[in-house]
Amino acid sequence: MVSSHLTQIKKKIRKLREDITYHEKKYYVDNDPQISDYEFDQLIKKLQSLEKKYPQLITPESPTQRVGEEPLEGFPSVTHRVPMLSLDNCYNSGELREFESRVKKVLSDEDVKYVVELKIDGLGVSVLYRNGNFYQAVTRGDGIRGDDITSNVKTIKSLPLTIPEKKEVEVRGEIFLPFQSFEAINRLKKQNKETLFANPRNAAAGSIRLLDPREVAKRNLDIFLYTIFIEQKELDSQWQNLKVLKKLGFKTNPFSRLCSSIEEVISVYERFRSERENLDYDVDGIVIKVNATYQQKHLGKTSKFPRWAISFKFPARQGTTQVKNIRVQVGRTGALTPVAELKPVKISGITISRATLHNEEEIKRKDIRIGDTVLVERSGDVIPKIVSVMKEKRTGKEKKFEFPSTCPVCHAAAFRPEGEAVSRCTNPSCPAKLKQSLLHFASRRAMNIEGLGESLVEQLLSSGLVKEIPDIYFLKPDELSSLERMGDKSSKNLLQEIIKSRQCGLGRLIFAMGIRHVGERTAHILASHFKSIDRLEKASKEELTSIPDIGPKVAESIVFTFKQPEHIKLLRGLKQAGLRFDYKKEKTGAHNILKEKTFVLTGALENFSREEAIRVIESLGGKVTSSLSSKTDYLLVGESPGSKLSKAKELGTSILSEEEFLSLINK
């Protein structure tokens, strides 16, 4: 009897899920609702009631589970199976015809068709389905690796949780925020006296990186899909991609077109250039793709862009307004950036109230004054900037802006290196810099303190528990556990990570200090040469430039940094915290098997990120450079190598596959 009753409940739940999934598609994908919002809400409530009564019947793909996850602790990194390349751009029909000429040169005797899609100004994402169920979502990232944002993408109602295809399916598309949702978010931020998002793309990117999926769900993100792989195989054409995606229930952009010539493409461009103001989402151009997949493969790709696709950007949108004030902001590296506060002006549906002025020289060159009437454009349809001043509208009441000689936040001296346009705050503990400095210090390639993410850093700073970087090494368990979403277990794990970071060694520490122009590789070169922080601190410019790969600009930056009282104080604090300032001396023998060998890398590696591969080579005594020459010993080749491969063959450079490289270092 119990079994029969449970079978009936299962049927009811299955039917409710099918009905809800159907109506979600009709509303969010097809824009053709079949029932009222109230009726839809009643279906959800019925399903929630049954699942609450019979929790053993809840499944991950149930519509009620779009926002079922607890807040996240971070976003793990995931390697893409196929790299997600960016697109090359063109800005006029002449450049587009040059693209066609390059295509025709390779496909000289073939009929070429193009698929035109609107270029959505959003966030690239890859979504994986297994056995018909939503499984994983990953950001585009650097094209090779992205962040796992599965729980957050699951909240997007236009993305199906189940599809009628049991094979493994990967789809790629663009997450975006409709104008209506963008304005609602900024209204709420304004009420809460929070910093407003500059544009819908920033809002979409910020939303998808929230650590609480329940908050993401409130943002009403949307998505268009444009590519599909079934069992990791491509379909025959881009037009077929769009057809199959639509058939499987995915949301595709309704304005995509199949064109027989480049002239037809230009006609489509002109049409959407005038009609984009009527859309409820931001587009900054069109994307043109060679339709046939076999032709795409024949055309190939560079290390950055596919040769079979290009973005044709729309002209920047412009408006006229007035400069109310000019304020100076302080960035992560201490850069002092002047920002114009504008009388709000609407440009293509977005209210612009601020524009970057870049640096002091830019203000002088354009002669921008407080009170001026100016022409503003959304450069690249994203970043507002002042194009020109309408000097004929001056009344004589306008004021010239005097650039500060000190940091406007901490009042430390501002330093402008010779030959550079940007002045910088010299204080490493400046509150405006401290948040980003802490995040850099704790990052994976620096001190590798897992769990010390943006949300926690903000809490540590606002609570006053951390006022300088060394303070993190003196945090107590009860202080951490009192913070939001930081229970005893999370606090214990973080403190273990902080303790472990004390042993990271000199190279990582130099990189973590955030010295201008000193990247990860340079930091390890310095550590290897000087062996101690005290010797590096006393080094002269001449001594530094005598080291291979250390140029005058880097040397000058290092000498200047170690003369600053704030940096001396930082080092003293880190020494008191018990950090290792000694160099981990390399052993002889097997650990120097790559000594004096020079490597160049190309393509995506399967077992290493590029940074990890460089670190391995350098730890075994080798050296990595960015360009090939007759002095290069090895070219390490990953998937989708660029032009370096053919150049290496011309030079006679030894070419290593990843398997051969692993065999070499495993010796």
- Known catalytic residues are 119
User: What number of other Cβ atoms are within 10 A of residue 483's Cβ?
Assistant: 17
Q: Collect all residues with Cβ–Cβ distance below 8 Å to 519 and sequence separation of at least 6.
A: 511
Q: Give the length of the chain.
A: 667
Residue 228 bridge partners (DSSP): 171
Residue pair 336/425 in contact by the 8 Å Cβ criterion:
yes
Cα angle vertex 556, ends 553, 557, to 5°? Answer: 85
On whether the CB atoms of residues 410 and 430 are closer than 8 A, the answer is: yes
Residue 148 backbone dihedrals phi, psi, to 5 degrees: -75, 110
> Pairing mode, if any, of strands 598-602 and 623-624?
parallel
On whether the CB atoms of residues 210 and 152 are closer than 8 A, the answer is yes
Write the CA distances from 464 to 431, 471, 491, 517, integer angstroms. 11, 10, 17, 30
Half-sphere exposure of 365 (CA within 13 A, CB side): 10
Angle at which helices 93-106 and 262-275 cross, to 10°: 150
Instruction: List strand residue ranges (DSSP E) for 492-545, in order.
Output: none
CB contact at 8 A, 318 and 346: no
Residue 421 burial (CB count, 10 A): 11
Strand partners, 162: 133
Measured distance CA(563)–CA(167) in Å, rounded:
62
Residue with tokens 């002006």: 345
The residues, ordered by sequence, that sit 6+ positions from 563 with a Cβ below 8 Å of its Cβ are none
Q: How many angstroms separate the CA atoms of 554 and 56, rounded? A: 62
SS3 223: strand
**Cα gap 259→264, rounded to integer Å:** 6
Handedness of CA 149, 151, 152, 154 (dihedral sign): positive
At 529, the amino acid letter reads H
- Nearest-angstrom CA–CA distance, 586 and 282: 53
Cα distance between residue 26 and residue 158, in whole Å? 9
Reported as type and span, the H/E element at residue 123 is strand 123-130
Q: Measured between alpha carbons, how far is 207 from 202 in angstroms, rounded to an integer? A: 8
**Residue 557: other Cβ atoms inside 10 A:** 17
Per-position DSSP letters for 432-444, written without gaps between them: HHHHHHHHHHHST
Q: Which of 650, 602, 604 is nearest to 627 (CA)?
A: 602
Tokens of 171: 């789809």
3-state secondary structure of 188: helix
Please count the CA atoms within 13 angstroms of the CA of 528 that sit on its side-chain side: 19
Q: Which 3-state string (H, E, C) describes 627-657?
A: CCCCCCCEEEECECCCCHHHHHHHHCCEEEE
